[in-house]
C-alpha cells in the first residue's frame, strides 16, 4: 500500500441533511489518492508519476477552461499575466477546488509568480510514504491543469512545485513562469 488515506466522511443512514458539496469534495480527494497510488504501482518511479500527473492535468486544463468560461460569463479575456493570475486565484481555484490561494513573489519583470495554497484539498487525507517524500509531487496534476488552461488563452507557461506541505514544508507553493504569447494559427493545410 503506497498511501495511507483516512476519510472523515460520516454518512449515517438517519442523517438526511448531508452536505453534498463536502461529500463530493471528499469523494474526489479519495478518488484522486487512489489514482496516484495506482500510478505509483504502474510506474514504480515517482518522477514518472510526476510526468503522468502533469500530462493528465494538461488534458484536463485544456477542457476545463471551457467550463470555467461558461460559468463565468462576466470574466473578460486576460491579456496580461497579472490579470490571469488574479482570475486563477480568485475564481478558478475557488470554483474547482473550493479554496482561494494567494498570488505572491512576483518577479521584477512581472513574468513569474507563486501560487501559495494554505489549503490543498487534494492532499487533505494524505500521508506520503517515506520512499516518496523527496521525489513525488502528489498534486502535480494542478501544474498540468494550469498549463493547459493558460495555453487555451494563448499563454505558454512553465508550471512547477517549489514546496509542498506533504514534503514537510510550511506551505504549498506552485511557481508559474510566462514563456510567450501563442499566436492563433490554422492547422497545416488550411488557409
Note the pLDDT tens digit of each residue in 33-81. Answer: 999 999 999 998 999 999 999 999 999 999 998 888 888 888 888 888 9
Residue whose C-alpha cell is 513573489: 105
Cell of 151: 495555453
Pair 123, 4: CB distance under 8 Å: no
Q: What span, in angstroms and rounded, lies between the C-alpha atoms of 71 and 67?
A: 6
- Return the sign of the alpha-carbon dihedral for residues 137, 116, 141, 82: negative
Count of CB atoms within 10 A of residue 182's CB? 13
Identify the pLDDT of residue 3. Answer: 44
Helix (H) or strand (E) holding 159: strand 155-163
pTM: 0.84
Instruction: Encode pLDDT of 127-177 as tens digits.
Output: 888 888 899 999 999 999 999 999 999 999 999 999 999 999 999 999 999
- In this predicted structure, the answer to whether residue 185 has a pLDDT above a threshold of 60 is no
Looking at per-residue pLDDT, the higher value among 100 and 17 belongs to: 100
CB atoms within 10 A of CB 142: 26
CA separation, residue 6 to residues 19, 30, 98, 134 (Å) = 19, 9, 20, 22
The pLDDT tens digits of the residues spanning 15-38 come to 445 565 555 777 888 889 999 999
Amino acid at each position: 500500500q503506497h498511501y495511507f488515506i483516512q476519510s472523515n466522511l460520516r454518512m449515517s443512514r438517519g442523517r438526511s441533511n448531508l452536505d453534498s458539496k463536502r461529500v463530493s469534495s471528499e469523494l474526489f480527494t479519495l478518488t484522486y489518492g487512489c489514482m496516484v497510488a495506482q500510478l505509483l504501482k504502474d510506474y514504480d518511479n515517482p518522477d514518472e508519476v510526476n510526468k503522468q500527473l502533469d500530462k493528465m492535468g494538461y488534458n484536463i486544463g485544456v477542457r476545463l477552461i471551457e467550463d470555467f468560461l461558461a460559468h463565468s460569463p462576466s470574466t473578460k479575456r486576460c491579456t496580461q499575466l497579472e490579470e490571469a493570475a488574479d482570475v486563477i486565484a480568485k475564481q478558478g481555484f475557488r470554483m474547482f477546488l473550493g479554496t482561494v490561494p494567494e498570488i505572491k513573489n512576483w518577479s521584477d519583470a512581472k513574468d513569474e509568480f507563486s501560487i501559495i495554497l494554505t489549503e490543498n484539498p487534494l492532499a487533505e487525507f494524505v500521508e506520503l510514504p517515506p520512499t516518496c517524500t523527496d521525489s513525488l509531487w502528489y498534486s502535480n496534476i494542478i501544474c498540468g491543469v494550469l498549463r493547459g488552461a493558460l495555453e487555451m488563452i494563448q499563454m505558454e507557461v512553465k508550471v512547477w512545485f517549489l514546496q509542498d506541505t506533504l514534503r514537510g514544508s510550511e506551505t504549498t507553493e506552485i511557481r508559474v513562469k510566462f514563456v510567450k504569447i501563442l499566436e492563433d494559427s490554422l492547422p497545416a493545410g488550411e488557409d
